Amino acid sequence: MAQQCPWWQGAVIYQIYPRSFMDTSGNGVGDLRGIAEHLDYVASLGVDAVWISPFQKSPMRDFGYDIEDLTAVDPLFGTLDDVRQIVDRAHALGLKVLMDQVLSHTSDRHPWFRESRASRDNPKADWYVWADPKPDGTPPNNWLSVFGGPSWQWEPRRNQYYLHNFLASQPDLDVRNPAVQDALLNACRFWFDLGVDGFRLDACPFYVHDAALRDNPPAAAPIAGTRVNFNPYFFQDHRYDIGRPETLAFVERLRALADSYGGRVLLGELDERVGHRLHRDYTAPGRLHLAYGSWLLWADHIDGAAIRTLAEALGHGPGDGYPCWSLENHDFMRSPTRLLQGRNHPGFTLTIQAALSCLRGAACLYQGGELALPDADIPFERLQDPYGREFYPTFKGRDGARAPIPWRADRDHCGFSTVEPWLPLPDDYRRLAVETQTLEPGSPLNRLRRFLAWRKEQPALRWGGMAFHPAPAAVLAFERRSGDEGVLCLFNLGDEPVTVPAADLPLGRDLAGHGFGGVCRDGAVLLEPWGAHFTTLGQP
């Protein structure tokens, strides 16, 4: 059947973290040429697109998310010609290319900020968020930085504070300013002109702050006993520093720009653990094509009931926006380590990934997820992440999810580099190396390849409507329908076998060979732990 809908609505997007993908220059840091040389591997996974984390010029205090020049490639990673090579090679392989765009803030080394901080009356004096101190010299309000401490830094040249939602070296742009918006849109045009197919928009809700600088109220939900209780940031309800409705006007300008280039795509990071709070606004018509939050990324337990509840909160009807389902990324602990279930079932997270890829919307697959990599245990003396160094040892930061990819078990540093990598590879990564798993038919890598290859040929799983069916809490049961075709999907996201009565399910013909650990017998579907079963749609 010919494709009837935009490619992104049912896409699987493979995230590449350049520093840790492949080093071809011999400096221990991954680079753009390493990405270009391994795009055949990415395409072999059955994905539709790559999202490449920042490679623009940066002092690397936050490893690329502190940009010094929005239209220049950092020499650590390569050149503009290397970007062109990636785009050309990806397109030849049928892959789209999305790149990170960090538009809420810059590095403090950016020329715009150097000019802005110099005085209160220069041409860029109002390009960043500046505020006078309170009479006692303290910051203007109680806003906190994600990375620890107040989100205000004193600048003696202006006798004012500037806002930084992350590191003090990452000052926030004042995106209310039309001149700032125009400059950011011009930077986006540069990359569209180069041929990229879209952007992953970092920290979308941070673009615009409350003009009155009102204090944030305390968080309504108790924080004790959760994964985030190490950080006072989560003690606040971030009502005024992020998620302001004024942000949406700039999002609409970004969408108009993307549409003017003929179908370029915007994937927004909502940075919001309450799934429905921002998703509906940001994915409304004329805004983001896709958006994801940290809905599942913080979770230490994920079952069928949790995913169904989230999907219903986000909305999955014809008029609703499209989520991008994410189990892992560069900012969160890898799921085999994070989740408290599935430890006795190797590759169990691939069942979750398969389930997410069958839901309405797109899905992200973070590099190494196809290998079922656990988090690397990085000793303190090797930690690079400023977030982890601030809150260690209660929170060890994000480096564990950023350790390099193991390509070959028989090579130094698992074939990632010829020298000591910027982050160490754990010894247990050798048994999970790409070459090793490629030679094992039942490996997580080959299981996911087979599944995504089949899924890619199912129009109903890519673009169809979705409806859920009653099932035990561990089980995710739903159908996808596109025209006359449909697929019933049953996933057991639990450690115990489950029997699902078939009486109320629209079971049709078994799609043999595409499920795993599931069988229909004696009027019921029997699902092994972390099993999946698929049928065509029939009459209940």
Query: What does the alpha-carbon distance between residue 139 and residue 242 come to, in Å, rounded to a whole number?
Result: 18
Q: Nearest Cα to 32, choosing from 204, 263, 194, 187?
A: 194
b/e per residue, 515-529, with b = 16+ CB within 10 A? bbbbebeeeebbbbb
Name the token pair of 100.
Answer: 């990170």
- Which DSSP string corresponds to 282-303? HTSTTS-SEEE-STTTS-S---
Q: Is 338 left (phi over 0), alpha (psi -120 to 50) or beta?
A: alpha
101: three-class secondary structure by DSSP: strand
Q: Is the Cβ–Cβ distance between 476 and 493 less than 8 Å?
A: yes
Name the token pair of 176.
Answer: 């209310």
Q: Is the Cβ–Cβ distance between 104 and 147 less than 8 Å?
A: no
How far is residue 108 CA from its own chain's centroid? Answer: 25
Position of tokens 């799983």?
Answer: 461
Q: Tell me how many helices (H) and strands (E) the chain has.
A: 14, 20
Catalytic residue among 197, 202, 281, 375: 202
The answer to whether residue 202 is catalytic is yes
- For residue 526, what is the enclosing H or E element? strand 524-537
Query: What does the alpha-carbon distance between residue 325 and residue 291 come to, in Å, rounded to a whole number?
Result: 9
Catalytic residue among 269, 303, 385, 399: 269
Q: Is the Cβ–Cβ distance between 377 and 306 less than 8 Å?
A: no
288: three-class secondary structure by DSSP: coil
12: three-class secondary structure by DSSP: strand
Question: Under 8 Å CB-to-CB from 97, ≥6 apart: which residues?
Answer: 49, 50, 52, 86, 87, 90, 91, 195, 196, 197, 198
Q: Is the Cβ–Cβ distance between 86 and 32 less than 8 Å?
A: yes
333: three-class secondary structure by DSSP: coil
Query: What does the alpha-carbon distance between residue 526 and residue 500 come to, in Å, rounded to a whole number?
Result: 6
- For residue 261, what is the enclosing H or E element? none
49, amino acid identity: A
The answer to whether residue 252 is catalytic is no
Backbone angles phi, psi at 202, to 5 degrees: -65, 135
Question: Under 8 Å CB-to-CB from 379, ≥6 apart: which residues?
Answer: none
Residues with catalytic roles: 202, 269
